[in-house]
């Protein structure tokens, strides 16, 4: 049997795709053949332009994932625009930094709601159609903090640990229905979110010394993993958290 990474004829919904990792994933899915719905708070103008250059169609769905309020509407709009949602990539997320002893309930709830609660209920909404058709792929964006505790980001560590757990829980129930659920745990990727770390010579040096690959990751490094997990080549991969970290966790 030929191994296929093609996403020809598939409809993909990607959250938080206006920049960085989400943008790279959305464009890579289009390059692999998918039509893509982009869901987020701001207009993903550059992402739309880059997908158009691939010859694939993209639609813009405006939604704030700070709560589960837009979840059903987002899936309905994606299904209406694409025909169906075969692939869901849960990339949207936020982070709040503060010393543990001063960390607020507001910052705790904001991160858990966006990064874990909404991720689950959006997956649930998309999975209903996937299960009815007997096929589908859900790819969650986890983190190195799915495995580690981090510093000054307790709610983010809790949420991303939860992403690892809920990925496995969803995989257990959806695999018999033909739906694979996996996660990607990015390492230190050169994006806007890590700009301050990159600009700090001491911290950047410490990070690079820990990474066997000796470089910051590029969003395209994550995009390749997402295309694999969304493709037929990964039909027997489910419940897995794939670290794409240049070897950070192996150190």
Task: Show which residues are catalytic.
Answer: 156
Q: Which residues pair with 242 in a beta bridge?
A: 184
Q: What count of Cα atoms within 13 Å lies in the side-chain half-sphere of residue 207? A: 21
Residue 185: strand, helix, or coil: strand
Three-class SS state of 93: coil
Strand partners, 58: 36
The bridge status of strand 35-40 relative to strand 58-62 is: parallel
Half-sphere exposure of 251 (CA within 13 A, CB side): 16
Give the pairing of strands 87-90 and 11-15.
parallel
Hey, how many other C-beta atoms are within 10 angstroms of the C-beta on 195? Answer: 10
């Amino acid at each position: 049997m030929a191994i296929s990474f093609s996403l020809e004829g598939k409809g993909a919904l990607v959250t938080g795709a206006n920049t960085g990792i989400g943008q790279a994933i959305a464009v890579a899915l289009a390059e692999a053949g998918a039509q893509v719905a982009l869901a987020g708070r701001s207009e993903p103008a550059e992402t739309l332009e880059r997908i158009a250059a691939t010859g694939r169609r993209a639609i813009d769905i405006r939604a704030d994932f700070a709560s589960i309020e837009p979840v059903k509407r987002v899936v309905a709009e994606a299904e209406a625009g694409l025909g169906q949602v075969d692939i869901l990539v849960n990339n949207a997320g936020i982070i709040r930094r503060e010393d543990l002893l001063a960390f607020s309930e507001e910052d705790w709830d904001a991160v858990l709601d966006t990064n874990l609660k909404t991720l689950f209920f959006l997956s649930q909404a998309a999975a209903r159609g996937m299960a009815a058709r007997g096929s589908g792929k859900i790819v969650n964006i986890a983190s190195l903090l799915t495995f580690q505790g981090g510093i000054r980001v307790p709610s983010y560590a809790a949420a991303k640990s939860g992403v690892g757990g809920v990925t496995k829980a969803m995989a257990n129930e959806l695999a018999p229905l033909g739906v694979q659920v996996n996660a990607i745990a990015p390492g230190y990727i050169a994006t806007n979110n890590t700009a301050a770390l990159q600009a700090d010579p001491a911290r950047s040096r410490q990070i690079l010394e820990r990474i066997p690959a000796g470089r910051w990751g590029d969003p395209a490094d994550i995009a390749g993993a997402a295309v694999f997990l969304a493709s037929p080549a990964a039909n027997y991969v489910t419940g897995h958290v794939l670290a794409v970290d240049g070897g950070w966790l192996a150190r």
